[in-house]
Amino acid sequence: MKDQQSSDEDPGETLKRTLKAQLQRRKKRVLERSSAQGTHVDDYDDDDVEEISTVQQRSEDEGPSEKAADPDGLSRPPTGSLRGLSSRIQHTADSQHLDDFVTRRLEEKRRAARAKVENAQPQEVSPEPASRLQSLRDRDTVTRFDRAVDPERAGRQDVPPTLSTRVKFREVARRASKGVPTAEEAYNFFTFNFEPDPQEETEKISRKRKKQKKASEGGDEEGGEDDDEQEDAEVDEGNQDEHEDQSEEAPLVRDEEGDLFVIEQSSQDFLEVKKAEYIGYRKCIQQESELLFRPSFRTVPTSIKLPENMKPRFLEDEGLYAGERPPVSLTNENILENRILKTEEGKKWFGDDGRIMALPDPIKESSTRPPLFQMEEDVDPALHTVYRKAVKSKYAYLYIAGSADPEGDYQLDVDVSGLIFSHHPLFSREHVLGARLAQLYDQYLTRQHNNLTGHLTDKLNGSRIALRNMLNVHGSQSLTPVMQQRISEYSLEVRNTRQLRDSEQEKDRTLLKNIVKVWKELKAQRDLQKYTNTPFKLYLRRENVDRASDEREYEDEILAEVVELEAESEEDYQRKLAEYKTQLEEWKLWRRKQKSKKKKKKKKKKGQAQDETEEEDEDQEASESEGPVEEGHPKPEPPEKPDFDSIEQQVREKASRIRRKPGEAILIPELSASGNITASELCPRPETARREDVTRRSLFIKILYNDKEVSRTDSRSLNSDFKVHFGQIFNLKIVNCPQSISLQVFEEIGSSCSLLAQVYIPVPEPSVLTGNGTLEEFEFSSNQRVMFDHDGVGSDVPLSFEADGSNKQTLLTSGKLSCCVSWGIGEDDVPLAPPVSQQPGGLHSGLGRLDAVTYIGASGLYDMKKIGEWATQSRLDPNDPKNGSIMQLLKLASSGEVTAPEYFRLEQLQEEFNFVTDEELERSKRFRLLRLRSQEVAEFRNYKCVPALEREVTDKVFQEYERRLKEGEEIDTRDHLDPQRARKAKQHQKIREAVINRFILAKHHFLLSDLVIEEEIPSIGILGLNLFKLAEPKRPLKPQRKERKKVTAQNLSNGDIKLLVNIIRAYDVPVRRPQSGPGQSSQTAIQGSDWLISQVQVRPFVEVSFQRTVLQTTTAEGPNPCWNEELQLPFSAPNGDYSTASLQSVKDEVFINIFDEVVYETGVTDKDKGKSIHTRVEKHWLGSVKIPFSTIYSQSRIDGTFKVNTPAVLLGYSKERSHGTNGGYDALRSLSEGAFITLFITIEPQLVPGETIREKFDSQEDEHLLQAAERFERDAARVYLDRPCITTVIDLNGKTVFITRYIKPLNPPQELLDAFPENSQEATALVARFVSLIPSLPDRVSFSGTCDLWSTCGEFLTLLAGDEEEHAVLLCNYFLSMGKKAWLIIGTAIPEGPTAYVLTYEQSRYLIWNPSSGQYYGQYDTFCPLQTVGSLVNADNVWLNIQEYTSPMTINFDVSKANLWKPFFSRSFTHPGLSSVQPEQLSYKRADKAAAADLQDSIEKILKEKIMEWRPRHPTRWNRYCTSTLKQFLPKLELSGGQDMAEGHRHELQSLLGDHRISGFPLHLPFSEIGPIIEAVHSTGVHNIQGSNVEFALAVYVHPYPNHVLSVWVYLASLVRT
């Protein structure tokens, strides 16, 4: 535009000067405008104004400059250049110089260009190209804006040129200037829109706006340029022209401005359309190359990288370590170097060697994580995994912790190689010698092998030479003390070695001699017996020696020895002499003192001075003649001079004894087993017998692991050389911790075998594995005495080889067993050994594995000293970090803290952080209580509320528990009265605890049915029945029994449980005896008064006492009373614990006592004048029934008629029925004797009885047998619900045992049999009585109802307590041994429930024995307590009752009938020959009368005290006379076995105690403890008799039976004086 303007006004260049004034004016206007518009700050001064103007000018200026630049270089792309320019302008605003420089250059170029144009173009053409060019150039500007110039100009000049012309002109101009159009020109030519713009005005405005914008933008920046322009103002004439133009136009635009904005605002005003740009690739490159830096990838010379005048230095060459550089490609490195060099301080990145500094390669050569295949081999054993098959979990181990590996991954390999007898009973004499010879030869060989003599001789020679050398070297000079010491050391060593060698030589010599001697004996023996038994042959090889040299050596040796000995003895002598001298000195000193003392004494005497001096002189002589004057200090003896001659003599003697003579051949014995053994046919009879015996024998070895036989070798026959080779290896898979491994050598003769010896083998260390274990020889011997009638020498039999039988030897069977025990190796070479040490309790084995000591393989070394020794021995490298921990440990140990290694090893920091000490924790009573409760210790099992605070727990809580603990150690004899019993009770307690512990775990095993209760879905059948029931007629008079609801025990509390006792009736109660005895005159009065009452005979009532609660029925009348009353007794469990286990162990018993109510008139009182009669009621005990609570609990109800336990003698009563009263009834009744009572007892509410443990016990029975037994029992239970059938029982060790093993004839105590030698009936009864006297203790009481254990008879007799089964088994066994046919009946009885009785068959009838009472019943006895018979057992078989009925009366006991009794062992399943578990024989202790007498006294004392205690308000008088009478009577009762012999006794008593009314009875009990006796006495209620004149009599008798079985009789009587 400027160009065009300037070119317009070029002709009027002359006007320039004039126009300058206009310029000024315009500037002013601009100033005004800017101030008016507010775009500029008003307080701009003139400079500012000028600036603005220049801005405008500048902006105009750009165009021409571009245009000018355009022609002269195509290198600049139009837009880019422009932008670059403008940007550069803006950018360099602060750096004026550059700007100036550029503008100047631009000016120049423009001018040049302009000159060209001017030359080439006509005047009128010039504006168009300019405008076009500008539009072309200035991309930013709007095209219309460019064009707008034209009309404006045209308007101004009034010469509007047509488009075409304009184009043409321009074309011409271009051609003129360039000739060839540029690329842009060509482009523009085709794309440009040459249409004239209609909107001049708007264009102008917009342009104006542009200008203003630009001005405001670049105002500051272009100030500098402004200056420039002003400087060369004359150059820019055109510019000024243009300015002038614009200034002329400016007002116009201004005027119109407002309207234009308002009216014509279209999108076109604000938008501009751009063309798609394209920049040529090369241009791009060019442009980029200007902006970007491309480092070259050529190698940079080292000199550049290093500081000047430096040579590269290679550390590696200098021997210093330089890590390997990470691999980088050379190009990359070069590029990096080049780039770095360009930066400031680039050189600091280069090392001395001229390369970029780099850390060593961080990547390890191998990959850190080992690949999978590698892992299998060297993985930590802790990380081993085991592939376990998916198995049914039935027997899988239950819990994680303490996981005893059920699969038993441990294996012991026992290699039994063989054994050699060094003596055997079957040895012939020759064998004995042969064995001795072999032994000696073995000894010889080992000695030979060790060659100690040779070694010692060498050593001796060596030290001699060394000594000699030393003496030679230093011989002449005086020796230094060090040398002297060394010499003395050497000589000492020489002496010691010589002595050792001598003794060894001697041994060698004697051994050789012995060998020869034994061989000679052997030969003599062979000659004597004329046959050979052993293949031994001894050769003596002679090795001849050169006599001369040998002699020389011998002499040398002797000489050397002599010299040494001489030297030694000389030395010895010198030493002794020195000693002697010092002693002498001392002695003299002492002597002098004595003398001086004497002198002082003697001075007083004055006279013998001369003598004294003489004496003194004598002393000074120190001659040996004079002994010491005073005792105390003997005068020392001078040592003797050594006798050198004798030394040589001695040496020679010794040498001849222990050494081979010079020149004598060396004898080398050689033992071979190549000799022939004389064939058996050629031997004499005894020898052949012996040989036959040998061949009959064979040996095998049992391997016992933890005292259980696990395996045995094949049996191998004994050879004639008495060597047995087994060569068997046993792999033991073990589960239990190894405690002992032993091998038992058994010898078999025919079918019998006997134990020869047992060899214990140490359990190998875990490191001893199968590969590396060595065979070891274990010696064994047995002291069995064996004698033979043939040539065998026997064992433990004196034996002599001398002709005269002297020098006897006794040889025991002995030998060597070679075997090897080691831990097995699994398939994957994993040792199957248990971990090194299982720390006890809470310590974790994981810790153990990380333990330093075990880690380095020193297993089991926990002794610090040993570790120390081991460490020094194995020369641990203290610097090795692996050994760091052990070194530390040793340091600690050596510093004296050996005693406290616990926390060093485990939790060493624990102590510091502890809140409290262990002791304090232990002291806490609350914690103790909690723990005891959770351990279910009996006293605390159901402790409900543990206090929250420590202080609320009192010490009282523990008292009982602690007392029990203390009692555990010491036996409390106070309660038991009998130390024997106490011990038994203790033993029983122990067994009980063991059993309970065993079952504690079993209790936690639940079946599905225990946990999940599923109501059975009623089947169609049941539904149908129920429907029928609806249709049934109602029968209110026939009430149906309703099942009571069972209550589980846990939600019960005290008072909830009641015991219901329904007493229905009694039969045959003893009746009062009419007092019509002879001579009872005194009693007639009473009898008379009682007559009316006594017509009733008896007025019995029943009293039930339970847990000291006593209830009684009303009084009925007559001997067959009927009460039909219900009594309710409360029940409270011990400790308020109503759990099943606790209820089962309740030992309380229900006493049902029958009393007779006797009413006495005490006479008529005077006051009431006969209106009232005072009577006294007495109750007389008639009998009782005892039912243990545990029975009621387990049976849940007891219903039946029981025999009342009446005393043998009941004073004042008779059991005879009154004759003729009811004769018809008698016929039936006569079958039994005694009174009976019908009862019904139950517990309200009904409790669930505890169930027995269904644990499957391990067993030694055959698996087949067990299965068959299980099947048999199951079948029995299915078909016959109510018939108990037992085939297997559990013994005290918790093992399942087949029942027939318990039955075996066993001898009863001989004393019992001797009692009635001719009467077997009596003896049988006595045996039964003996059995019944053993106290009965139900298993469910003693073992908390866990299970029913059967002890063997031996155990039963030791424990002296047992269940009915034990009694029955014992009785049955006794009967069998007495030659009876006996069976065990498994059935149910009242009141016991399921129980065992004994059946015998004698005299063609069956008898049923109650083992607990000792009574027997006939098969058809109505009152037999046995109700059902389930099965029979004897030693051979078990039979199940398959008859229709179960009652003993209705069944046939003939077991041979298969249709009545189903046998367990039948033809298809035969009896496998089960051996018995019972002992071979029972041994009994004899009855101890003295102990019984003691016991008797103490029981009597206790009972008397108790009775007095129970009568606190009345004086208790004892009638001594009566007591003594009763005492005499009791033994008779015992003898008669409680049989009725009352009549005579009664008469006796009556006669003795004429004026007393007496009522009393003897009680009989088996003795176990004092408690039950007291209880029984209390229940009779004798003490309740009131009255002033009552006296008591109490007699106790204890009858001892063998084996501490005691029978206790208590006779209790009350006497009333009448």
Partner 1 sequence: MAELHIIGQIVGGTGFPQNSLFCKWGVHTGGAWRLLSGLKEGQTQVDIPQVGDMAYWSHPIDLHYATKGLQGWPKLHLQVWHQDSFGRCQLYGYGYCHVPSSPGHHRISCVTWRPLGSWQEQLAQMFVGGGPQLRSPDLIYSGADRYRLHTEAMGTVELELGVIMRHFDKYGVES
Residues that bind partner 1 (CB under 8 A): 369-370, 372, 375-376, 379-393, 396, 398-401, 403, 409, 842-847, 849-850, 906-907, 909-910, 913-918, 920-921, 924, 927, 930-931, 933-934
Could you give phi then psi for residue 1487, rounded to 5 degrees? -60, 135
Cα–Cα distance measured from residue 775 to residue 993, given in angstroms and rounded to the nearest whole number? 44
Please, what is the minimum distance in Å from the beta carbon of residue 951 to partner 1?
A: 13
Please, what is the minimum distance in Å from the beta carbon of residue 934 to partner 1?
A: 4
Please, what is the minimum distance in Å from the beta carbon of residue 375 to partner 1?
A: 6
For residues 223 and 831, which CB has a smaller minimum distance to partner 1 in the complex?
Answer: 831
Measured N-to-C along each axis, helices 200-218 and 46-72 cross at an angle, to the nearest 10 degrees, of 110
Please, what is the minimum distance in Å from the beta carbon of residue 374 to partner 1?
A: 10
Cα–Cα distance measured from residue 327 to residue 339, given in angstroms and rounded to the nearest whole number? 19
Contact assessment for residue 536 and residue 671, using Cβ atoms and an 8 Å cutoff: yes
For residues 381 and 481, which CB has a smaller minimum distance to partner 1 in the complex?
Answer: 381
Contact assessment for residue 1322 and residue 1316, using Cβ atoms and an 8 Å cutoff: yes
Residue 74: name the closest of 315, 385, 306, 286 by CA.
286
Cα–Cα distance measured from residue 1362 to residue 1412, given in angstroms and rounded to the nearest whole number? 10
- H/E segment holding residue 878: none
For residues 943 and 1510, which CB has a smaller minimum distance to partner 1 in the complex?
Answer: 943
Amino acid at 455: H
For residues 934 and 1054, which CB has a smaller minimum distance to partner 1 in the complex?
Answer: 934
Please, what is the minimum distance in Å from the beta carbon of residue 1000 to partner 1?
A: 13
For residues 299 and 914, which CB has a smaller minimum distance to partner 1 in the complex?
Answer: 914
Q: What angle do CA 756, 680, 810 make, to 5 degrees?
A: 35
Contact assessment for residue 1274 and residue 1567, using Cβ atoms and an 8 Å cutoff: no
**CB-based contacts of 1187: which residues, under 8 Å, 6+ apart?**
1149, 1150, 1152, 1198, 1241, 1391
Please, what is the minimum distance in Å from the beta carbon of residue 767 to partner 1?
A: 18
Please, what is the minimum distance in Å from the beta carbon of residue 841 to partner 1?
A: 9
Cα–Cα distance measured from residue 1086 to residue 1616, given in angstroms and rounded to the nearest whole number? 12
Residue 409: name the closest of 825, 963, 997 by CA.
825
CA 971 vs. chain centroid, Å, equals 35
Please, what is the minimum distance in Å from the beta carbon of residue 829 to partner 1?
A: 14
For residues 93 and 906, which CB has a smaller minimum distance to partner 1 in the complex?
Answer: 906
For residues 909 and 1281, which CB has a smaller minimum distance to partner 1 in the complex?
Answer: 909
Residue 946: name the closest of 959, 938, 1135, 954 by CA.
954
Please, what is the minimum distance in Å from the beta carbon of residue 706 to partner 1?
A: 24
Please, what is the minimum distance in Å from the beta carbon of residue 913 to partner 1?
A: 5
Q: Mind giving me the DSSP string for 543-586?
A: E---HHHHHHHHHHHHHHHHHHHHHHHHHHHHHHHHHHHHHHHH
Please, what is the minimum distance in Å from the beta carbon of residue 737 to partner 1?
A: 17
Q: Which residues pair with 421 in a beta bridge?
A: 815
Please, what is the minimum distance in Å from the beta carbon of residue 387 to partner 1?
A: 5
Please, what is the minimum distance in Å from the beta carbon of residue 507 to partner 1?
A: 55
Cα–Cα distance measured from residue 1312 to residue 1330, given in angstroms and rounded to the nearest whole number? 8
Please, what is the minimum distance in Å from the beta carbon of residue 843 to partner 1?
A: 7
For residues 376 and 1126, which CB has a smaller minimum distance to partner 1 in the complex?
Answer: 376
For residues 386 and 473, which CB has a smaller minimum distance to partner 1 in the complex?
Answer: 386
Please, what is the minimum distance in Å from the beta carbon of residue 938 to partner 1?
A: 17
Cα–Cα distance measured from residue 316 to residue 322, given in angstroms and rounded to the nearest whole number? 6
Cα–Cα distance measured from residue 17 to residue 930, given in angstroms and rounded to the nearest whole number? 122
Cα–Cα distance measured from residue 154 to residue 127, given in angstroms and rounded to the nearest whole number? 10
For residues 85 and 930, which CB has a smaller minimum distance to partner 1 in the complex?
Answer: 930
Edge-first strand listing for the sheet containing 1149-1164? 1109-1112, 1100-1106, 1149-1164, 1173-1188
Reading the block at residue 1375, the tokens are 């009967």
Contact assessment for residue 117 and residue 176, using Cβ atoms and an 8 Å cutoff: no
Please, what is the minimum distance in Å from the beta carbon of residue 1007 to partner 1?
A: 13
- H/E segment holding residue 1360: none
- Which three-class secondary structure state does DSSP give residue 1237? strand
Please, what is the minimum distance in Å from the beta carbon of residue 853 to partner 1?
A: 17
**CB-based contacts of 1173: which residues, under 8 Å, 6+ apart?**
1161, 1164
Q: Which residues pair with 130 in a beta bridge?
A: none
For residues 842 and 1039, which CB has a smaller minimum distance to partner 1 in the complex?
Answer: 842
Residue 1594: name the closest of 1540, 1545, 1521, 1515 by CA.
1521
For residues 446 and 910, which CB has a smaller minimum distance to partner 1 in the complex?
Answer: 910
For residues 640 and 829, which CB has a smaller minimum distance to partner 1 in the complex?
Answer: 829
Tally of residues, the chain = 1618
For residues 403 and 1470, which CB has a smaller minimum distance to partner 1 in the complex?
Answer: 403
Q: Which residues pair with 1613 in a beta bridge?
A: 1560, 1593
Cα–Cα distance measured from residue 1105 to residue 1151, given in angstroms and rounded to the nearest whole number? 5
For residues 379 and 673, which CB has a smaller minimum distance to partner 1 in the complex?
Answer: 379
Reading the block at residue 878, the tokens are 């203290």
Contact assessment for residue 1486 and residue 1602, using Cβ atoms and an 8 Å cutoff: yes
Bridge-based pairing state of the strands 1071-1072 and 1213-1214: antiparallel
Cα atoms found within 13 Å of the Cα of residue 1282, Cβ hemisphere only: 11
Question: Tokens 């842009």 identify what position?
Answer: 184
For residues 739 and 1009, which CB has a smaller minimum distance to partner 1 in the complex?
Answer: 1009
For residues 672 and 935, which CB has a smaller minimum distance to partner 1 in the complex?
Answer: 935
For residues 293 and 373, which CB has a smaller minimum distance to partner 1 in the complex?
Answer: 373
Q: Which residues pair with 743 in a beta bridge?
A: 703, 759
Please, what is the minimum distance in Å from the beta carbon of residue 378 to partner 1?
A: 9
